[in-house]
Amino acid sequence: MRYISTRDNTIQYSAAQAIAQGLAKDGGLLTPCYIPKLPGKALDDLREMAYQQRAVYIMKMFLEEFSVKELTDFANAAYGPEKFDSPAVAPVHTVDENTHCLELWHGPTCAFKDMALQMLPHLLTASLAKTEEDKMACILVATSGDTGKGALEGFKNVARTKILVFYPKDGVSQVQELQMVTQEGANVGVAAVVGNFDDAQTGVKRLFSDKEVCEALEKKGYFFSSANSINWGRVLPQLVYYISAYCDLLRDEKVSLGQSVNICVPTGNFGNILAAYYAREMGLPIDQLICASNRNNVLTDFIREGVYDRNRTFYSTMSPSMDILISSNLERLLYSLTGSTAEVKDYMEQLNAGGRYQLNEKLKDKLQKRFKGYCCDDRETQRVIRSMYDKHGYLIDTHTAVAFSALEQYRQETGDDTPTVVASTASPFKFCASVLEALGETSPASGLDALDQLTTKTGLPAPTPLASLRDKKVRFTQVVEKENMVDAVMSLLD
């Protein structure tokens, strides 16, 4: 299996090179040349396997130079019982006959980022060894909340790496901030940036491309690397849970072999739903992919009109992990739909220049055949949380609620009752205040007290990683101006 840049197919990379490098030098995303097909009886075989074995089977198809033994060790370490509070790892909760919720938040940070960020450090360190990289990786992350904590947990105490996370001082929830500033591990750093998420993100990008800083880093024996979802090592582990969910439905006789399902995903950077698309390309019987957005509905418009236009107001919503106007992974979809790196390059140049591009009719048809786009605002998000809880006794977080709203709209519009898997991306306990309000609580408690309040209200226990934050020491209090982020890097490496 060879990998190419989505903007240039003349240079080919091995899987280890693609993962070690993260981003192609031309700014494109490193992506497999083609998507391999599941062999005829794969689903039958996978049906009986544990999640870890399913992960090995599927990832091996993309990672030729990794041995089964290696991948088995990685999967056992990444998805073991000390990391995930469910032996199923990503269990499927059946809501009603045709609606199944794939719970992706049973890992150490209670959000779906764990599914990939528990695996990425293993893939990355092995890739560095295979490519004979002798420097150590300094991983920089700008986060609006979930990615930062996920990456810290994944990379803590991983040999030959240091990780530094920047979060916007006033841009994350109290639980999210506590999760980060109490982070354990000898190789980690966390700093708050004065400003919003864009300031943190722009600051990180500037560090990456600052020649002087990179040279200083090299002298200390390091190079910069990234843990965000442009790295193939983050997309690949996400294919596994869609195939795994289908196998669970087969095993539990909720679908029959070959029967189609729809998949509905709350979407931000387009990484999660792209993985579902790739699972379909591998031959998993998926019919429609329903792309759910909050009020930042750039993707809804894109799917409906074939125009991507990020020149619009940015809204802060109660599903902050989807507050995003540039969905980076869309570039991989464009490559898959066009099969042409030249065409992708052209669209991306238009996006860089004017913040906008328009698909031609043929491409737009292809997109619309596969994807349906829906969006909703915060009021609707809370209505759905309430109605799911009242009707089904099932508590969901704000991001997952956006997906259930999209599914409801899709079903109303089309009458399609195909069994549907909805990706549930965070524990409701991560967004206590909004969830409590949705359930009718007029004065939600602040900080960790809201966890208890939600437990009292619903009878559900808070996940251990969140409940135990109370006993953790605050380790990181550094606040930097966006101009001085480099100081945080240098002090981590000294």
Ligand X SMILES: *Cc1c(COP(=O)(O)O)cnc(C)c1O
Contact set with ligand X (CB under 6 A): 111-113, 146, 229, 266-272, 321-322, 399, 425-426
Report the nearest approach of ligand X to the CB of residue 298 (Å). 12
Q: Which helix (H) or strand (E) holds 218?
A: helix 211-219
Spell out where 335-461 has E strands.
356-358, 371-375, 420-424
Report the nearest approach of ligand X to the CB of residue 242 (Å). 13
Nearer to ligand X, 16 or 180 (CB): 180
Helix locations, 131-171, DSSP H: 146-155
- Please provide residue 9's backbone torsions phi and psi, each rounded to the nearest 5 degrees: -100, 15
Nearer to ligand X, 191 or 396 (CB): 396
Count how many residues are written for the chain. Answer: 494
Nearer to ligand X, 146 or 248 (CB): 146
Report the nearest approach of ligand X to the CB of residue 113 (Å). 5
Nearer to ligand X, 257 or 326 (CB): 326
Are 56 and 72 a contacting pair, CB within 8 Å?
Answer: yes
Nearer to ligand X, 466 or 480 (CB): 466
Nearer to ligand X, 18 or 299 (CB): 299
Nearer to ligand X, 225 or 267 (CB): 267
Report the nearest approach of ligand X to the CB of residue 264 (Å). 12
Q: Can you say whether the dihedral through the CA atoms of 238, 406, 103, 444 is positive or negative?
A: positive
Nearer to ligand X, 84 or 112 (CB): 112
Report the nearest approach of ligand X to the CB of residue 403 (Å). 9
Are 144 and 229 a contacting pair, CB within 8 Å?
Answer: no
Nearer to ligand X, 23 or 128 (CB): 23
Report the nearest approach of ligand X to the CB of residue 295 (Å). 14
Report the nearest approach of ligand X to the CB of residue 97 (Å). 26
Looking only at the bridges linking them, the beta strands covering 8-13 and 3-5 are: antiparallel
Rg (CA), the chain: 21
Helix 120-130 to helix 232-251 angle, to the nearest 10 degrees? 130
Are 296 and 260 a contacting pair, CB within 8 Å?
Answer: no
Report the nearest approach of ligand X to the CB of residue 399 (Å). 4
Report the nearest approach of ligand X to the CB of residue 132 (Å). 32
How far is C-alpha 151 from the geometric centre of its chain's CA atoms? Answer: 11
